[in-house]
Structure 1
Amino acid sequence: MAMLTDVKRTELRRSLVDLTDRGLTAAAKWAGEQLAGLPEPDGKHPPARSARQSRAGSSGAASHHADGDDDAYHFAKSLFDMKEYRRAAHVLKGASGPRAVFLRGYSTYLAGEKRKEEERIESAGLLGKEGAANKELELLESELQAATRDPQTADPFLLYLYGLVLSDRERRAEAREALLRSVHGYPCNWSAWQALAAAAAPGQELAPDADASMPRHWTREFHLVHICLETQENDEALGRLQSLAAQFPGSEWVTNATATAQYNLRNFDEAQELFEDLLERDPHRIEGMDVYSNILYVKEAFAALSHLAHRVSMADKYRPESCCIVGNYYSLKGQHEKAVQYFRRALKLNRNYLSAWTLMGHEYVEMKNPPAAIEAYRRAVDLNPRDYRAWYGLGQTYELLHMPFYALNYFRRATQLRPHDARMWIAMGQCYEHEQLSMAPAAIRCYHRAHDSGDREGIALHKLARCYERGKDLDAAARCYEANLARIDAEQLQGQDAPDALLFLATYKKNAGELAAAEGLCLRLLDFGAASKERAKALLREIRSMQVAGSASAMALAAASLADDDDMAQWDPAEDMAMTPGSMGGAPHEGSLTLDTAFDISPQY
């Protein structure tokens, strides 16, 4: 174990230098984070090599470079860091070293992206529609295709850049092939792993053949966790994260991913505890705190969300995450216009920031602006078709517009992405109940699926009971109402569900003749509002009348039974069964009943 840890430490130290040299700052940051997360070795750390020693001692195409390019490379790197991408590419024209060649190509790519953004703003406004394109892609593709043709000598960083270019040109299969070659050649480039995840075909991210093609390297586990979180396979992600936490006990990336998985599973208390632990370890951390703000928003923790918004604003107020956190704070306060202002500011800083588009759509729904909400949600699903929140938001918006067929289509997409989320199935059930569809059996199936998926709010049970009640299946309705009432009592909840259940069950028990049970339910119903109280009183009067009527009938039956008993007590068999005519005071009258006639068994009978 210690030897494997030392191997990882060596790889990460080398990759930290290689990635920084090539301007891949996000990947370098990830490598540094995992390096800091490794357990400390017994005793002292081995003496760390300087950057110059690391570059000199690293072997392979990734770190070898020609000495003649050093001066031009360092000047170009300083220009790159200042975001003067065209100048950096020009300075490195004709360079032959691997670092210089990659930096020239990457500078050209970023210069094209920068110009594309400028054209988009000039033509359609900051949040306008797409129209501009990166005009450097075609030339870059031809150069990179020639440079990476030979699989033996192809530079893994150039393959990564080639994969980016192909992805931008919507050639996903070729992009995936180039990116796979890149991570095979240099597994510690986290940016290549992320691009590989984005290039995967929808629904095929965790396919067996996709997994088999990946390199058997420890970074593969991080990639699979990332894919699991993207595809909402949160339980699998948590299982893999347990293994990674043992290997990288101090990794903030692992802790953040674990908190995100718990949030996706709606385990808000566990997720909040993990995010608070992250902030305790790094008080100035901003990455991932937007998810933490969502938890505080759901829990309506005004003070905690205000404190978090102040903290991130002090750390860096012009980060997209900071703007989203402040936007969530204003949304919780009901200031939706101001919340939209901050979400738009986040998109000015990073127009590909998915959470801002989705949250802005939510705000427009609150502001009763369906067209703007639909546009925001569509931008979100264009950026990431796996974002179930945006699909769900589209469904809700079209439901508000009384367009259930459109809403049903979007809710179906959401349930495909979150098949174990009860909220998605409840939304579909409500669509099926709409008067334009009136598909009660389909709605009932959806509500059953929601209940089986762990409906915490009990909405599905109440909806099921109402569906069965409207369908005249009173026994099934009673079972659902009883189960929901038991849940409400156990959790001591308030709301309209309890009086609805009590009223139905009281009527159901009354009609079934269970008057004592019905009376008890009505007495509970008296504790609720005026409308419920009046209904309960009327029902109690009916029950009491039935009880009185039942008592009178019972008394009459009892009296009749007692009278029969008195007659039997006064009866003398000796008198009624006299055998001789003399005992009757003379001859028997014609037609009178005697023992002989009473027991006549003549053949005609």
Structure 2
Amino acid sequence: MSLKTGLKPSCYEFFPVNEMKKVLREAAVQCSERGLYFSTKWIAETLEGLPDQPVDTSEMDISLDSSIQENIYTLSSTLDKDLTNLDPAEYDKYLLSKSYFDVKEFDRAAYFLESCNSPKCRFLRIYSKYLAGEKRKDEESHDIMGPMNDLKTFNKEIPKLMEEMESWRDSREMNDVMRKQLYPQDKNLKDLFLESVQNYYYNWSAWVELGECINNKDMLRDILNRLPNTFMSLFFKLHMSVELQDLPQAFTDIVAEFPPEYVNNRFLQTKQATMYYNNRDYDCSEIAFDRLLKSDPYRIDDMDIYSNVLYVVNEKSAKLSILAHMCVFSDKFRPETMCALGEREKAISYFRRALQIDQTCLSAWTLMGHEYVEIKNTHAAIISYKRAVEVNPKDYRAWCGLGQIYELLNMSFYAIYYYQRSSALRPYDARMWLRLAALYEQQCLYVEAIKGFSRALESKDIDDNNTIQAMTKLAKLYEDYDPEKAAAIWLRLLDRDDLHEDADERKDGHKYLASYHKEKGETEECMKHADILSGFGGSSKEDAKIIVKELKQSKKSSQDESIIDS
């Protein structure tokens, strides 16, 4: 249950604790000076999670390459020379503009840097103008549930910024989030983010944006092969394991590569809790979140996920109420707070508030879709789920939600498409394959239905009831395509201890097997299953009589033919 770090050697380079702290402290300053606050927060949390004194790692295989060791200082010293040396006049303007930037007066910050030419001042001015445009764009946005185009109000600062930045597009000083907005159609966007993290390892926002460009495990493998051998690449690998809905064992294997000093790292703890949530292990997810909140009681990050965990576990309503009050006390205007409140009462209104604060809040879109399904407002539910997959196409819940809605609307081919998207993200989830297979069967796509039920039975998370259901469906489908396979599946099903003695599946199984052995002329086996079938009484008894009668007639016909032949 707890994080098990330091269990296996890592191919990624980790500095000794004291050196790591020096690197992270400097990186935090570098990012903070440029207004990259999310990166700064991530670095500071990683720094705080390291022990005060380094533990003995003599038995750990984390040797430090000499060239990497030199990079601890050379990279940061290069940044000092290129980015931080300002003349006194520019430095004063930088301090003034940075103070405006910190209180979100972005236009003022940009104005006082107009005459500055140093890379750091130029970066801060461009970034300020971009954020000012984003702020106005959000203010101009219409109803979140309105037409899709209303939601995509354009940042009017972008054309001017594009013109100014075209000459230094490839410069590493460009903010990567801004680059994504400026060049959304750029086919090399993934390569640009890759170049960014290769040039400067410690901007976590760039790593996250790189992850947004990765849609499947094949793409991830390609990217991992091109990444530097820095410890940041291992953090990224762990992040993507959760984003791509990997299995718990894959997550555990990655965590084992971290040195033992990282056992209290809150990023790792958060990802562990989210991983359990993604795999529907809500009890373990709750324990992981509880441990996280014990060390960080006023935390709001990821509390939207925790609130949903508590909501799913119905008996945790008191705990959910405490969490909601804690979030309101800490910051009542965060989207995560609105999601926590939405799990309790007036859900849709709180989710809408969350989206008014942050239209990219995935949890709010998905949970609001669930609520609209509950009140049978399918149109609004479809809009909510579609917005969710726009925010994050890698989240299977919204794709699955769309599939369920279209299934309810009897629009089977739409439902099949969305379930296919969901099952591609969760190939080991039995529920997806069962739903897909049922729809295939409904549309007389029997070969696809057989594949779907077979995949469901291969899944490790399938429960006993669904196993019985899938085996029954599969056996009946095989009756027309492959009688021998059908017989084998019926036999396996009848051997199950958890199948009730009077279950309809037992009647169907014995009826088919009696007929199967009758056709093959296997009298003893046919009579055995016919006798069991007769014991159920009612129509089953009549079916057994018919099968036995047909068996006797078949034997008599065979005997008559033998006499004639002789």
1:486 aligns with 497
2:311 aligns with 297
Show CA shifts across 1:3-31 (max 9, x none).
62222211110111121121111111000
| Counterpart Cα distance in 1 of 2:146 and 2:348 | 17
| Counterpart Cα distance in 2 of 1:409 and 1:393 | 12
The alpha-carbon deviation at position 118 of structure 1 amounts to 2.2
1:315 aligns with 330
* Residues 1-40 of structure 1: pairs in structure 2 closer than 5 A: 4-40=16-52
The alpha-carbon deviation at position 480 of structure 1 amounts to 5.5
The alpha-carbon deviation at position 295 of structure 1 amounts to 2.5
Residue 257 of structure 2: which of 228, 243, 246 is its match? 243
| Counterpart Cα distance in 1 of 2:502 and 2:301 | 43
2:504 aligns with 500
| Counterpart Cα distance in 1 of 2:161 and 2:260 | 42
1:526 aligns with none
User: Would the aligned equivalents of 1:92 and 1:104 in 2 still touch at CA under 8 Å?
Assistant: yes
What is the total number of aligned residue pairs between the two structures?
496
Equivalent position SS for 1:386: coil
Change (3 A) 1:257 1:433: same
2:349 aligns with 341
Residue 438 of structure 1: which of 440, 444, 449 is its match? 444
Change (3 A) 1:118 1:310: closer
User: Would the aligned equivalents of 1:432 and 1:440 in 2 still touch at CA under 8 Å?
Assistant: yes
| Counterpart Cα distance in 1 of 2:323 and 2:510 | 49
2:141 aligns with 120
1:598 aligns with none
Show CA shifts across 1:157-179 (max 9, x none).
x2334x63344432343433333
The alpha-carbon deviation at position 540 of structure 1 amounts to 10
Letter in 2 for 1:463: A
* Residues 89-488 of structure 1: pairs in structure 2 closer than 5 A: 89-121=110-142, 129-147=150-168, 154=171, 156=172, 158-161=173-176, 164-200=178-214, 205-208=219-222, 210-234=223-247, 235-244=249-258, 246-303=260-317, 304-330=319-345, 338-434=346-442, 437-458=443-464, 459-466=466-473, 468-469=475-476, 472=479, 475-476=487-488, 478-479=490-491, 481-482=493-494, 485-487=496-498
Equivalent position SS for 2:156: coil
| Counterpart Cα distance in 2 of 1:269 and 1:325 | 18
User: Would the aligned equivalents of 1:377 and 1:390 in 2 still touch at CA under 8 Å?
Assistant: yes
Show CA shifts across 1:94-143 (max 9, x none).
11233322111110110111122222238996997334211222322333
Show CA shifts across 1:379-433 (max 9, x none).
1111222121111111111111101111111111111111111111111011112
Change (3 A) 1:177 1:463: closer
2:73 aligns with none
Letter in 1 for 2:51: P
Change (3 A) 1:131 1:323: closer
User: Would the aligned equivalents of 1:255 and 1:278 in 2 still touch at CA under 8 Å?
Assistant: yes
| Counterpart Cα distance in 1 of 2:513 and 2:444 | 29
Show CA shifts across 1:192-238 (max 9, x none).
11122223466653132x22332222111111222222222344333
Deviates more, 1:122-131 or 1:301-310: 122-131
What TM-score does the superposition give when structure 2 sets the normalisation length? 0.78
User: Would the aligned equivalents of 1:302 and 1:329 in 2 still touch at CA under 8 Å?
Assistant: no
Letter in 1 for 2:241: C
Q: Indicate whether 1:75 and 2:115 are aligned.
A: no
| Counterpart Cα distance in 2 of 1:18 and 1:450 | 50
Equivalent position SS for 1:134: coil
Change (3 A) 1:329 1:456: farther
User: Would the aligned equivalents of 2:224 and 2:233 in 1 still touch at CA under 8 Å?
Assistant: no
1:553 aligns with none
What TM-score does the superposition give when structure 1 sets the normalisation length? 0.73
Show CA shifts across 1:492-514 (max 9, x none).
xxxxx984345546767999544
User: Would the aligned equivalents of 1:108 and 1:136 in 2 still touch at CA under 8 Å?
Assistant: yes
- Structure (1 or 2) with the larger CA radius of gyration: 1
The alpha-carbon deviation at position 246 of structure 1 amounts to 2.6
Deviates more, 1:411-420 or 1:281-290: 281-290
| Counterpart Cα distance in 2 of 1:170 and 1:287 | 27
The alpha-carbon deviation at position 318 of structure 1 amounts to 2.1
Show CA shifts across 1:435-462 (max 9, x none).
xx12233212201101101243332431
User: Would the aligned equivalents of 1:510 and 1:518 in 2 still touch at CA under 8 Å?
Assistant: no
The alpha-carbon deviation at position 147 of structure 1 amounts to 3.3
| Counterpart Cα distance in 2 of 1:287 and 1:35 | 18
Show CA shifts across 1:59-103 (max 9, x none).
343443333222211211121122111111001111123332211
User: Would the aligned equivalents of 1:429 and 1:447 in 2 still touch at CA under 8 Å?
Assistant: yes
User: Would the aligned equivalents of 1:362 and 1:393 in 2 still touch at CA under 8 Å?
Assistant: yes
Q: CA RMSD in A?
A: 3.4
| Counterpart Cα distance in 2 of 1:506 and 1:329 | 50
Deviates more, 1:411-420 or 1:311-320: 311-320
Show CA shifts across 1:229-252 (max 9, x none).
222234433321232363422211
Change (3 A) 1:480 1:510: same
Letter in 2 for 1:90: Y
Change (3 A) 1:455 1:197: closer
Change (3 A) 1:146 1:58: closer
1:84 aligns with 105
| Counterpart Cα distance in 2 of 1:399 and 1:249 | 45
Change (3 A) 1:22 1:33: same
Structure 2, unaligned runs of 5 or more: 1-12, 56-75, 516-525, 547-566
By relative contact order (CA 8 Å, sep 6+), the higher-ranking structure is 2
Change (3 A) 1:58 1:403: closer
User: Would the aligned equivalents of 2:511 and 2:530 in 1 still touch at CA under 8 Å?
Assistant: no
